[in-house]
Amino acid sequence: MKLVFAGTPEVAVPALDALIASGRHEVAAVVTRPDAPAGRGRRLVASPVAERAEEAGIEVLKPNRPRDEDFLARLREIAPDCCPVVAYGALLPRVALDIPAHGWVNLHFSLLPAWRGAAPVQHSIMAGDEITGASTFLIEEGLDSGPVYGTVTERIRPTDTSGDLLTRLAFAGAGLLEATMDGIEDGTLKAVPQPADGVTLAPKITVEDAQVDWSAPALRVDRVVRGCTPAPGAWTTFRGERLKLIQVTPRPEVTDLAPGRLSVGKNNVHVGTGSHAVELVWVQAQGKKPMKAADWARGVRIGAAETLGGV
């Protein structure tokens, strides 16, 4: 089939690579978000998908909005059979959805109908799911509600961050998306409506969502830190300034610390929660680079009764 691929961040690149390398389909163009300011200089930078497409000599379309008439006109000229999508980042209007003969097919990083929305991987870790996966589905105007073509499953490991899990799903999902394109082309694959039961929502994780509540159980604290790593980054406060929490480890054997209370040993830093303690492993103070928590604690000289989070 002739394809127009839509995607923006690094997580979409494995799927684009798989379709380019497939030899069965032609990636005629790529649709991505406009260049965005990045880095300290706030210089405009092309998206990872745009950079990969340009390397491959593929036409790149960067509409401000997918309903822009010049974009729609170019899409009609290309006349794609199907438009595979991975983390494009903009809502597609009906007028765009109707252009390809086989519609727009999204690779979503959950087992639908679970975790519909912008942050399925973060929510699955924060909820304590043991299994997740990826789904390909036909995009409709509802939120991730279209019929499903196929799925792959992935076990969530006890130490997975959302970054770790998303990387694995990006590569597993790339193979799923390629197989979905093959099945649509040869007519062997039909989309199946999602069940009405089991719908959960995964809205974008805000900075406020990523603040650690030390009165919560240690298991919850660990899940929030892992789910918010690398973005938006779990955090707490120390002496009135924000402290980013990069890695913690539950310590069930340490049960004598009140929520938020710090305890510094020779090579470790424990903090109390609503159940047992967690060990701070990696942290990042405001304006500093990430460092081992023990090194941070030595540098700030934590007092005997100090706490995190203003507890």
Residues making up the binding site: 110-113
Query: Which string of b and e fits 160-178 if b means at least 16 CB within 10 Å?
Result: bbbebbbbbbbebbbebbb
Rounded Cα gap, residues 226 and 206, in angstroms: 15
Residue ranges of E strands in the chain: 2-7, 26-31, 36-38, 43-45, 59-61, 83-86, 104-108, 131-138, 148-155, 234-238, 241-251, 262-264, 269-271, 277-285, 291-292
- ∠ CA 216-221-223, nearest 5°, is 130
Q: Give whole-number Cα distances, 4 to 96, 172, 180, 182, in Å.
A: 12, 21, 15, 15
Rounded Cα gap, residues 205 and 123, in angstroms: 8
At 78 the three-state DSSP class reads: helix
**Which residues, listed in sequence order, are joined to residue 38 by a DSSP beta bridge?**
43
Query: Which string of b and e fits 261-282 if b means at least 16 CB within 10 Å?
Result: bbbbeeebbbbbbbbbbbbbbb
Element (H, E) at 206: none
Nearest to 135 by CA among 85, 206, 65, 210: 85
Rounded Cα gap, residues 165 and 11, in angstroms: 11
Are the CB atoms for 83 and 5 separated by under 8 Å? yes
What SS3 string covers 122-150?
HHHHHCCCCEEEEEEEECCCCCCCCCEEE
List the binding residues for (6S)-5,6,7,8-tetrahydrofolate.
110-113
